Chain A
Amino acid sequence: MIILDSDIIKLKNCDPNLVKEVIEAGGTNAQMCFSCGTCTGGCPAVYAMDHTPRQIIRMVDLGIKDKIFESNTIWICAGCHTCSLRCPRGVEISKVMSALKSIAIKHGYGADDDPSGPAWYKSFSEVTMRYGRIFEPELMLLFNIKKSKNPIEIIKSMLKEAPLGIKMLKKGKLLLLPERIKGKSHMKIIYENIKRIKAEEDVCSVYLNKLK
């Protein structure tokens, strides 16, 4: 095997805090992994991934952020949890993938190369927080706008969805107006509360790190 210079992990590119960051974002401890590859063996979407789930978990352990966020793997993962179920070491790989997605979205990593993943999750939360429930037509429009800045591309994408939309409408399976929940303010209150909780935690962790 030829080892290329680009394959050699440079310490300066490693972030030792990534394992912790992933746990805090809702993932599990990647350091439990002993690299058996069961996750990769059972992954239905691995054929489309740049790096296998096993490699991503190893990269989390080593803190190789740039390679993780350059790859398409976290956005291809459909979150089916087959890996989590089968992992003999209790690593919930799907949840690590979700945590990595939330870190990528928070910092804008990798969004320039492939905006569709972040665009989807952001659009979903915006619509949910606005009405309290999902409103599919607006969700699709918002997604296409966030995915592409080019108006022609946006129109093209929407037209592609049109035949299914019309079929659904004819069968009474599409709402034309959003259903709003009565406790509309609740969404805003919950969102603001969470922002506050997270900000307090961030202050705490900065303080604790200083103490070290």
Chain B
Amino acid sequence: MKLAYYPGCVLPTSGKEYDMSTREVFSFLGIELQELEDWSCCGATAIYNLDNLLALALPARNLAISEKSGLDMTTPCPTCSYWLWKTQEEMIDNSPNKEKINKALKGTDLEYNGKIGAKHILEVISDDIGVDKINSKVIKPLRGLKVIPYYGCYIVRPPRKNPFDSPENPTSMDRLIDAVGATPISWDMKTKCCGGSVVVSKEEVALKLTYDLLKKAKMLGADCIITPCQQCNLVLDAKQVDVEKVYNDKIDIPILYFTQLLGLAFNISPKKLGLDKNIVTVNRLLNSLGLSSN
């Protein structure tokens, strides 16, 4: 199996460990990821707040490039995955935007016909590869590790037509945690927003929403939280120290990408999974598994 890989803007920078662990896990699972040639920003949620057509034209440029190669696309970013999906949907649905999308690409030598779509890597791993296959590939079961699955918004919302997971109570990561021998902690904040999209413009709101999540996770005795989203990860991990300061409450919970957790169970070295790049230290967690971050 070979897929076009669309990393999105954050993965080469602040989401570096997500990029590293995704490539490692896919290579371990025998799926070739071919980085999309000359990919560009999908516009994320920010562009939709400026112009609704630009928000479709930017993903269309990337989909058109992928369509040329004939490869289906996958991306680790939930926001990118939504906008790429949405753009294909507008084409398939024959919406009034269909014609406009290609009008917007005119002069770039690119044309998008709606034939190629994109899936989030969580969908590829949990559905296309399957939880049983993941379970059969485990080399080092993560026994005793209590893990909170935090899905965030864009992986399930806005709702898609044929969602791969329930928008109100997703379970794909719960099943993956179970498959790698760890214990998923059940909680009611799986899809409660972390405020990531307003962390720059309305920081105090994002910190409050993040604190609610972290406090609950701490109360439930989690060893770590896993996410499928670099934006959630940024606020939960990199902003955790700010949350602690504002609310005068020590949290100290490691935040891992779900691919990092899978990688550990596949016995991929912590260094290759970028676990030394997480902001909140993961040393205690690794020690409990008999590993070190180097």
B191: chain A residues within 8 A (beta carbon): 82
Q: A193-B107, A194-B104, A197-B103 are in contact. Are A26 and B196 (CB under 8 A)?
A: no
Check A80 against B153 for contact (C-beta < 8 Å).
yes
User: Complex Cα distance A27/B12, Å?
Assistant: 32
A182: chain B residues within 8 A (beta carbon): 38
Check A84 against B158 for contact (C-beta < 8 Å).
yes
Offer 21 A-B interface pairs, CB within 8 angstroms, sorted by A.
A75-B201, A78-B195, A81-B157, A82-B157, A84-B157, A85-B159, A98-B52, A105-B50, A116-B201, A121-B46, A125-B47, A167-B279, A172-B277, A173-B16, A186-B110, A189-B106, A190-B54, A190-B58, A190-B104, A193-B105, A194-B51
User: Complex Cα distance A114/B121, Å?
Assistant: 38
A101: chain B residues within 8 A (beta carbon): 49-50
Q: A134-B9, A174-B14 are in contact. Are A121 and B49 (CB under 8 A)?
A: yes
Chain B interface size range: 35 or more
Interface readout for B11-43 with A: 1 if CB under 8 Å, 0 if not? 011111100000000000000000000111101
B185-199 contacts to A (CB < 8 Å): 191-193, 195-198
* Chain B interface main SS type: loop
Check B14 against A136 for contact (C-beta < 8 Å).
yes
Of B128-136, B141-149, B202-210, B219-227, which binds chain A? B202-210
Out of A26, A105, A128, A173, name the residue touching B13 (CB < 8 Å): A173
Q: A121-B46, A171-B276 are in contact. Are A78 and B52 (CB under 8 A)?
A: no
Check B193 against A45 for contact (C-beta < 8 Å).
yes
User: Complex Cα distance A84/B158, Å?
Assistant: 7
A167: chain B residues within 8 A (beta carbon): 238, 279
Q: Is A76 close to B, CB under 8 A?
A: yes
- For chains A and B in complex, what number of residue pairs have CB atoms within 8 angstroms? 179
Which chain B residue lies CB-closest to A181?
B40
Q: Is B53 close to A, CB under 8 A?
A: yes
Check A198 against B201 for contact (C-beta < 8 Å).
no
Check B55 against A26 for contact (C-beta < 8 Å).
yes
Check B196 against A197 for contact (C-beta < 8 Å).
no
Task: Identify which of B105, B108, B200, B204 gathers the most chain A CB atoms within 10 Å of its CB.
Answer: B200
User: Complex Cα distance A212/B169, Å?
Assistant: 49
Total residues of chain A contacting the partner, CB 8 A: 60
Q: Which residues of A contact B (CB under 8 A)?
A: 25-26, 44-45, 47-48, 75-76, 78-82, 84-85, 92, 94-95, 98-99, 101-102, 105, 116-117, 119-122, 124-125, 128, 132-134, 136, 140, 143, 164, 167-168, 171-175, 179, 181-183, 185-187, 189-191, 193-194, 197-198
Closest 6 CB pairs of A and B: A26-B52, A80-B193, A134-B9, A81-B157, A120-B201, A124-B46
Q: A125-B50, A134-B41, A190-B105 are in contact. Are A85 and B157 (CB under 8 A)?
A: yes
A173: chain B residues within 8 A (beta carbon): 13-17, 277
B246-261 contacts to A (CB < 8 Å): none
Which chain B residue lies CB-closest to A140?
B200
User: Complex Cα distance A183/B109, Å?
Assistant: 10
Out of B13, B38, B39, B108, name the residue touching A174 (CB < 8 Å): B13
Out of A78, A84, A194, name the residue touching B53 (CB < 8 Å): A194
